Amino acid sequence: MSYLIPAEEIRRELAFANSRFIAALAPAASMDEARRFQSRLRTEFPDASHHVPAFVIGGGSSVTEHCSDDGEPAGTAGRPALAVLRGSGLGDAAVVVTRYFGGTRLGTGGLVRAYTQSVQAVVRDVPRARRLPVHIALLVCTYPLLEPVRRLVAAHQGEIASQDFAADVTMTLRLPVEALPAFQAALRALSAGALQAEVIETAEMLVRVTGG
């Protein structure tokens, strides 16, 4: 299953009635990884009043969610943060909003707005990526076919991870799983049936999404 995730960790800071709200959003592929992220922020900001977490692990129709008010009045922090994260369409995402209390009570409505807007700020600005299943494949080709093969790899959204130049060229390729059949067919057509990529491993790669 392919879904959008945060491409990197980002932070945004907002102020509400003298309280500081530092929202941090990061990719997290498991609940343990998300909790370690929260723990790291607790260590970084040990004197903060609250560290409110919201996690969405997995993506699409298969997700595990978690949130906590972390000492704020019930329903004013974790649930609003999770609602924004859930509505973002992101998976494998962990957000923690660190609050430094500024001496002025915000009230129930003010807290909901503060936590909602803090998470909206990081969700709006975070670069997005997609986990893409890929085949790692070996391909040996002759020098006259090298440039046409390179163009085929690019045309099928693949990457050349390495090239070894000897009597022939041995290439290590990364190709989206769904693109492999068409790539193999194009190789056969290019080489009159002489070339075929040999899959040696299946893995995942992160592909940044422009305008996601």
| Residue 93, number of CB atoms within 10 A of its CB | 27
Q: Which CATH number do you get for residue 139?
A: 3.30.70.240
> Which residue range(s) make up the domain with 84?
4-126
Q: Are residues 34 and 95 in the same domain?
A: yes
Q: Are residues 115 and 32 in the same domain?
A: yes
pLDDT tens by residue, 144-191: 999 999 999 999 989 999 999 999 999 999 999 999 999 999 999 999
Which parts of 1-144 fold into alpha helices (H)?
A: 31-44, 78-87, 107-125
Number of structural domains the chain divides into: 2
Query: How many whole angstroms separate alpha carbon 26 and alpha carbon 96?
Result: 9
- From 101, 126, 151, the end of a domain falls on 126
pLDDT tens by residue, 49-71: 999 999 999 987 788 999 999 99
Q: Is the pLDDT of residue 211 over 70?
A: no
Q: Which CATH number do you get for residue 104?
A: 3.30.230.30
Query: How many whole angstroms separate alpha carbon 100 and alpha carbon 133?
Result: 41
